[in-house]
Amino acid sequence: MVAIPAEIQQVMREAECLFSESQVERAIDNIAADISETMAEKNPIVFSVMNGGMVLTGKLVTKLGFPLEISYLHATRFRHDNNTKSPDIEWRAHPQQNLKGRTILIVDDIYDEGATLGAIVDHCKAEGVGEIHIAVLVDKQHDRKARPDIIPDYIGLQCEDRFVFGYGMDYKGYWRNAPGIYAVKEG
């Protein structure tokens, strides 16, 4: 057995809960209601952005009472050896479907600097996609947005400019399963 790193337990003990489970669930209900109003007739493909988008995608799709296809793509912020993130995106799985003329819904956990969503939108446009809709659980508030031209259509919650985890978002690979949105203790 490989032990759980002590840091992983400690980060949760010390974290600040920014949004409780019931607050997040309400936000997901609201996203689902908005998507249902605008996308019900559009025969969309829903793309979960792996890994972080999987929790929101799973919770969302059962609330969408209209025909849709579910799939995934994997674009991730490239990590340097020292674990800092660069603006470069590493594609691990492109969409496999023919996107020509299709309406798609991109579902991700967090819109932070926006480099990830920017690369996804650019790729899908190059593939001839019809309409692109974007849903994120959290929009992090700061003025470092890399692609001000890309604004998610459906946003669950606005969060302060701190590193957050839970509901799909990880802390060093852990706590994507946390039932709330937590901020790592600062200082």
User: Which residues lie near ligand GUN (CB under 6 A)?
Assistant: 110, 112, 163-165, 169-170
Find residue 93's DSSP bridge partners.
Answer: 74
Q: How many residues bind ligand PRP (CB under 6 A)?
A: 15
| Interatomic CA distance for residues 168 and 175, integer angstroms | 8
| Interatomic CA distance for residues 121 and 115, integer angstroms | 10
What is the smallest separation between the CB atom of 86 and ligand GUN, expressed in angstroms? 13
What is the smallest separation between the CB atom of 66 and ligand PRP, expressed in angstroms? 26
Cα dihedral sign, 85-187-177-135: negative
Positions in 77-116 near ligand PRP (CB under 6 A)? 77, 108-116
Nearby residues of 14 by Cβ (< 8 Å), 6 or more positions away: 184, 185
Residue 101 or residue 187: which is nearer to ligand GUN going by CB? 187
Residue 154 or residue 165: which is nearer to ligand GUN going by CB? 165
Q: By CB under 6 A, name the binding residues for ligand PRP.
A: 49, 51-52, 76-77, 108-116, 170
